Amino acid sequence: MGWADRLQEAYGGGVDAGTDPVAVDVPADRWVDAVTTARDVLGCTFFDWLSAVDEGGDGFRVVCHLAAHRPGAVDHLVVRTLLPREHPSLPSVAGVFAGARWHERETHEMFGIEVTEGGEVLDLEPLLLPEEFEGHPLRKDFVLASRVARTWPGAKEPGESESTPVPKRSRRPARPPGVPDPEEWGPHE
Amino acid sequence: MSSDEHEHEQTAAPARYRVVGQGLTLSVLDVGLACCAVEFAAAVAGHPDLLPLAPDDDDAGEQVLVISGTVTDKMAPAVLRHYEQLPQPRRVVSFGSCANSGGPYWDSYCVTKGIDQVVPVDVYVPGCPPRPEALLQGLAALSEKVRGGLG
Amino acid sequence: MSEDGTTALPPRSRGVIALIEENCTSCMLCARECPAWCVHIDSHQETVAAGPGGGRDRTRNVLDRFAIDYSLCMYCSICIEVCPFEALHWSPELAAPETDIRELTHERDRLRTWMWTVPPPPELDEHAEQAKEVTAAERTAQRSRR
């Protein structure tokens, strides 16, 4: 039986064989069961990584990469679930793979995703960010302050310099990527 | 002292190299943080002008700390402690764009924009990463600065 | 590594960027595309009066400042690739280490001197497609023969 077929049998549905590696989407309340199934039924003894993707209005997609060894080959699996943006809460899989704890700590501090165990919210120590850091940097709406603070050399038009502005500016000055409208985000006077 | 700072103390003698041919002794210690550390390793591998220094060698001359790689805000205190633990006379060589100014990660949420924000830098070596030859050029420039009595 | 500790440089080695000021039209593409924001360009507009034969006055851009900050540059080649006028070129020479970080910003005079060290482009691989300019020139030559 092929790998995708075994996944279909183990999970019943939600298998996306079009991606590489093969992915399976599960609801958030079945997250721990899905990872346990991968380990016990499908033989995924290798936990590679767990992280998240900020998908905007849809929420956060938590992704976990697992692998199963067989003689001469490795089968890869990506288990995914979607968490709502307003209150993202992920049950911990550290009981299934102990190494997942570090990845959950990183996902928690980078995305602001709450991690629970037995219904209780875990108070996770920051792993990578300095203690004074505020915000969740890997969220798409996290603004890189350096890009706002620093003057973009490309903001000038051809034929323009500090002392000689271009006479007719027909359109608004171009903003570099990642810099929001100063009306929306920036220092207050 | 927080538990973080305890973790940063050296427990083993780090690899130091004596630079010959400069008219003075430089003891070079690499703080290898990222890709530039590979170029530093390539520079010292079997290079005739860079000789490994024994850990208990006292004739160490100028102590030179080479910062090779990206300095993150979390790592910056450890680099500062490396510098403070060096006996005088001590110098710093910033190796590569990340150590010079933050480099390609200048806009990152967690990168220190140049190690000169944390320690005084004597020589900046440009490159991303700089070639191994550039390290020798940087050490030569440092020797000139030391001999010239500047700074 | 050779005896003096240097390695032979492969073709198209990236050491430092050189500028042909005459080719630059201050279009700002390199400054805009640079991911490190390390290309600094200042220019102004000048009017070129219409000749005795009539016509209208034209404006052109005159470059005042072109600087590359090598403390930030990541040697990605985007500026060189995007320049429509081939004003920027790679030189295999190494930019010298400096004691003052401001000296790592090379102004246009220094960028011009790097041009003397730019090697001619390497030959195309024998299995490569012919260069488009050569194909176009051959086509023009064939047409004129008919």
Q: Are C32 and A151 in contact (CB under 8 A)?
A: no
Using alpha carbons only, how large is chain A's radius of gyration in Å? 22
Phi first, then psi: give them for residue A74, nearest 5 degrees.
-130, 130
Q: Which residues of C94-111 are buried (b: 16+ CB within 10 A; e: fewer)?
A: bbebbbebebbbbebebb
pLDDT per residue as tens digits for the range C41-88:
999 999 988 888 888 889 899 999 999 999 999 999 999 999 999 999
Question: Which stretches does DSSP call E strand in B33-109?
Answer: 50-53, 62-68, 90-95
Q: Are A76 and A67 in contact (CB under 8 A)?
A: yes
Evaluate the omega torsion of the peptide bond into residue B129 and state whether it is cis, within 30 degrees of 0: yes
Q: Are A47 and A53 in contact (CB under 8 A)?
A: no
Closest CA to B55 of B22, B85, B27: B27
Q: Is the pTM of this model over 0.90?
A: no
Exposed, middle or buried by CB within 10 Å (0-12, 13-18, 19+), for C1? middle
pLDDT per residue as tens digits for the range A102-134:
999 999 999 999 999 998 999 988 888 988 899
* B104 and chain A in contact, CB less than 8 A: no
pLDDT, tens digit only, all 189 positions of chain A: 788 889 999 998 889 888 889 999 999 999 999 999 999 999 999 999 999 999 988 999 999 999 999 899 999 999 999 999 999 999 999 999 999 999 999 999 999 999 999 989 999 888 889 888 999 999 999 999 999 999 999 988 888 887 777 766 656 667 888 888 877 777 665
Residues of A in contact with B113 (CB under 8 A): 146
Residues of C in contact with A161 (CB under 8 A): 42-44, 64-65
The Cα of C111 is separated from the nearest Cα of chain B by a number of Å equal to: 15
* β-pairing verdict for C39-48 and B90-95: unpaired
Q: Are C21 and C108 in contact (CB under 8 A)?
A: yes
Taking an 8 Å cut-off on Cβ atoms, the answer to whether C99 and B141 are in contact is: yes
* C97 and chain B in contact, CB less than 8 A: yes
Q: With a cut of 60, say whether residue B4 has pLDDT above it.
A: no
Q: Which of B19-33, B133-147, C70-84 has the lowest mean pLDDT?
A: B19-33
Who's near B67: CB < 8 A, 6+ residues apart?
A: B31, B33, B79, B92, B93, B94, B95, B99, B115, B119
Q: Are A121 and A112 in contact (CB under 8 A)?
A: no
Q: Is residue A64 classed as helix, strand or coil in its secondary structure?
A: strand
CA distances from A11 to A38, A65, A97, B109 (A): 9, 16, 19, 39
Q: What is the mean pLDDT of residues B131-147?
A: 91
Residues of B in contact with C95 (CB under 8 A): 126-127
β-strand partners of B17: B28, B52
The overall average pLDDT reported for chain B is: 84
Exposed, middle or buried by CB within 10 Å (0-12, 13-18, 19+), for A71? exposed
Question: Which stretches does DSSP call E strand in chain C?
Answer: 16-19, 39-48, 58-69, 88-91, 105-106
- Give CA angle at B124 (B104, B146), nearest 5°: 170
